[in-house]
Amino acid sequence: MKFCSECGSTVVLRVPSGDNLPRYVCSGCGAVHYLNPKMVVGCIPEWEDRILLCRRAIEPKYGLWTLPAGFMENGETTLEGAARETWEEAGAHIEMGGLYTLYNLPHINQVHLMFRARLLDLGFQPGVESLETRLFTETEIPWDEIAFRTVRATLEQYFRDRHAGSFDFHFGDIRTR
């Protein structure tokens, strides 16, 4: 960060009074600018024994498979963001379920939240960020072509829970790329 979004003056990185971490502080108006983790929200769209995945048409991880997910926008809830991302990436009509996984990724300043969701119909289609959308059974999932560690961890946990007959909330940390 180089300039204040409040007044346009230059900012300096220093520990503000009453804080314990360096922050960008405006040299003109004194505004403190906090840079906090980004929230990534998405879902596991279920249809019978299959899961809807999207093959990415954008970087990072172009051409690899993922659950529909993306950065939460200001002014929306986590559920609204997950539903929006599912519509944008897969054109899928869903009924949102409960929060299923939460992964902290401190090395890239992100928190990933995945919800369970039920597909309401089979009218899904790739959005502009997807090359392809497809339903997969557990044995059909292209495990070696999954784009992100959080998606892989979520899918692995989902199938463990499905085999056990009970879905619980799961969380953890992923500390390296």
Rounded to 10 degrees, the C-alpha dihedral 120/121/125/126 comes to 30
Cα angle 42-45-50, degrees, rounded to a multiple of 5: 140
Percentage helix, strand, coil, to 5, in the chain? 20, 40, 40
Q: Do residues 131 and 73 make contact, with C-beta atoms less than 8 angstroms apart?
A: no
Q: How many helices (H) and strands (E) does the chain have?
A: 2, 11
Provide the whole-model pTM: 0.90
Domain definitions of the chain by residue range: 1-35, 38-173
What CATH number does domain 38-173 carry, 3.40.50.300, 1.10.510.10, 3.60.150.10, 3.90.79.10?
A: 3.90.79.10
Q: What is the pLDDT of residue 159?
A: 98
Q: Do residues 134 and 53 make contact, with C-beta atoms less than 8 angstroms apart?
A: yes
Q: What is the mean pLDDT of each run of 10 residues along the chain (177 residues)?
A: 96 95 96 95 98 97 98 97 98 98 97 98 97 98 98 98 97 89
Q: What is the dotted CATH code of the domain comprising 1-35? A: 2.20.70.10
| Token representation of residue 131 | 């090359």
Q: What is the pLDDT of residue 176?
A: 80
Q: What is the pLDDT of residue 177?
A: 64
